Structure 1
């Protein structure tokens, strides 16, 4: 239950970060660093990051994001399958 709550929170947070960064980019204001966007995805928010990228059309022209985020998601899914297999 705690893991599910964490994943829900971190993915919602990653989604919102993409939207906020896009809005700030349009307005020419201070931006959220790419390192922060990546860190949020790596610690479990890859799905939220990908959904945010597509919804807000943000970072979609950056190859590191368009290919990297799905790669992070695949790694997380493999890790999840491995952990379920290991502990079942």
Structure 2
């Protein structure tokens, strides 16, 4: 668990450094890192709400909704929320889909950056 915690934090930190460097070097517009931060914040909140509702046996946020927000760019917030709330850390199928969403999102982002840099 601790190793996964450090791995997740390292991935998020590396991604945020890359975003920052790309912005500083004027390879991406400001709206891109702002969007990742905003979606991460929303995703973090959704995980927190879902965890609270699970404890209180209330209406839950669907796993599909959590995964969609991660796919759209909220995955850094999802990884932090999993550790902060100890939520969705044991469900292997959920974790598998989350990492697929992360790989898909970063792959599309990488392709966008790669094709944009080459076209300049």
Q: TM-score, normalised by structure 2?
A: 0.67
Query: Gaps (5+ residues) in structure 2?
Result: 1-29
Deviations for 1:38-72, whole angstroms, at most 9, x for unmatched residues? Answer: 11111111121121112111111211222221221
1:10 and 1:40 in contact (8 A); partners too: yes
8 Å contact from structure 1 (residues 15, 52) kept in 2: yes
Q: In the comparison of the two structures, how many residue pairs are matched?
A: 88
Aligned to 2:37: 8
Gap runs ≥5 in structure 1: none
Contact 2:88 2:94 in 1 (8 A): yes
* Match in the other structure for 1:17: 46
Q: What does residue 50 of structure 1 align with?
A: 79
From 86, 98, 107, the equivalent of 1:78 is 107
C-alpha root-mean-square deviation of aligned residues, in Å?
Answer: 1.2
- Please identify the structure whose Cα radius of gyration is greater: 2
Who is 2:88 aligned against?
59
Q: Which has the higher contact order (CA 8 A, sep 6+)?
A: 1
Runs of 4+ more than 3 Å apart: none
